[in-house]
Amino acid sequence: MNVFKLAYQALMSPCVEEKITFTHQLYDLSINHRLNYQLQYPIHSISDPGRPDRPNLVRFQSVPKRDKSNIGMIKTIHAICHIEFNAINLALDGIYRFQKMADKFYQNWIQVAFEETQHFGLINKYLNELGYQYGDFDAHNGLWRMAHETDYDVLARMALVPRVLEARGLDVTPSIQKKFLNSDFQPMADILTVIFNDEIKHVKIGNYWFHTLCLEKKLDPLSTFDQFVKKHIGKQLHGPFNIEARRLADFSKTELDYLQRH
């Protein structure tokens, strides 16, 4: 089975249930060693992956601030659900787009895509129990925009999606978790524990491939990362940073020093 064709099929499916089913098929084929990583498949720049008609996507600045009222907390749950949906597409796009990588690269990101479907499922199920569903509130498209901007280079993708965007989740999750613990939505705190532990592994995978590629290309990791940050983000990264979680995700001392002095 052509891994790139299957990943593209999952990526472009606009139906949430179908996307999850395709991703689970990809994972089952991967763990049973039934995928061919040597075949090729046409690569396209994708401005918008498969997604349902809802939620309505707006600019990040247009998403209203979420307060600590019950509806505000539900909107926060929905926002996290949207992040996890995007994370499925991010992993699938990395599998489909960056061909001619080592088999382990695809196996790693198939595992990530599979776990992101589990995260989405946990939150969406809880939303349903609360009387809501994914798509009920506006959301923004920032995560995919960065994926689209880094579609020209696997090194850029590894530098900025797992090591910046997903790592930011490691920074903010503990404080979000505390808010849920002190609210009427305590089950979200347990869900976030599952997500947090998996995200450490996902960021660690991104770190592994970023450093592996830098080594192959004889590039200095820190200056290369700094160049990508300046090119695509245009400003320094701001904390607070969860140093312990980032250590567990294999950020080096040099990288952590870089973050803390900026």
Average pLDDT, rounded, for the chain = 95
Helix (H) or strand (E) holding 131: none
Percent of the chain at pLDDT > 70 equals 96
Q: Does the pLDDT value for residue 65 go beyond 90? A: no
The phi and psi torsions of 90 (rounded to 5 degrees) equal -60, -45
Q: Does domain 3-44+64-261 have CATH number 1.10.10?
A: no
Distance CA 97, CA 93 (A): 6
Q: Does the pLDDT value for residue 62 go beyond 60? A: no
Distance CA 220, CA 254 (A): 12
Residue range 112-144, pLDDT digits in tens? 999 999 999 999 999 999 999 999 999 988 788
Q: In this structure, what token pair is assigned to residue 185?
A: 């939505």
Least confident stretch, 59-73, 114-128, 196-210, 226-240:
59-73
Domain coordinates in residue numbering, the chain = 3-44+64-261
| SS3 assignment for 35-50 | CECCCCCCCCCCCCCC
Q: Does the pLDDT value for residue 61 go beyond 80? A: no
Distance CA 227, CA 210 (A): 14
Q: What is the number of other CB atoms lying within 10 angstroms of the CB of residue 217?
A: 9
